[in-house]
Amino acid sequence: MRFLPYLLAGLAFGFVLVKSEAASWYRIMEMFHFQSFHMFGIMATAIATGLAGIRLLKRRDRLHTLEGEVIAIPEKPPGHLNYVLGGIIFGLGWGVIGLCPGPIFALVGMGSIGALAALAGALHGTWLYGYLKNRLPH
C-alpha cells in the first residue's frame, strides 16, 4: 500500500507521455529541426508548472509529505563536466532513437520491439558508465 501513490504517479506519467506524443520519435525529430512548437510548448509549460508548484510548496511551510515529513527539495550532486559531457552523449543517442528514458519505459508498455532494444542498450550503457566511472572526468 505504501507504494500505491508511486504506482499511480508513474501510471499518470506514462499515460501523459503517450498522450502528449513526447514519446514519439517523429515529434522528437520535429523538435530538433525546429519545425513545430509542440515539444517546446510541453517543456515550457511543464517547467513553469513545476516552478509554480515548488513556490506553492515552499510558501506553505506547514505542508508535509504523505508520510508526515517536512518537504525538502533534493539537490543535484556537485559537478560541471559530467553534466555537460553526459548531457551531450545522452543527446547524441536521443537524436537518433528519439526516445529518452521515460518514453523508453512507456513504449515498452506498448509492446514496442524497438523500445525493448533501446532499454537493453540503455541498461548496458548504464553498466558501462558504472564500470568506467572512476576513469571519467567529472
Q: According to the binding rule CB under 8 A, does residue 60 interact with another protein?
A: no
User: Closest distance between another protein and the C-beta of residue 62, in Å?
Assistant: 13
User: Number of residues in contact with another protein, rule: CB under 8 A?
Assistant: 117
Q: According to the binding rule CB under 8 A, does residue 133 interact with another protein?
A: yes
Locus of grid cell 501510471: 11
Residues 72-131 that bind another protein (CB under 8 A): 72-80, 82-115, 117-131
77 is written with which cell numbers?
A: 550532486
b/e map 35-52, b = 16+ CB within 10 Å: eeeebeebeeeeeeeeee
User: Closest distance between another protein and the C-beta of residue 61, in Å?
Assistant: 13
Interatomic CA distance for residues 123 and 136, integer angstroms: 19
Site string for another protein, 19-58 (x = CB under 8 A): xxxxxxxxxxxx-xx-xxxxx-xxxxxxxxxxxxxx-xx-
User: Closest distance between another protein and the C-beta of residue 33, in Å?
Assistant: 6
Burial degree of 94 (CB within 10 A; 0-12, 13-18, 19+): middle
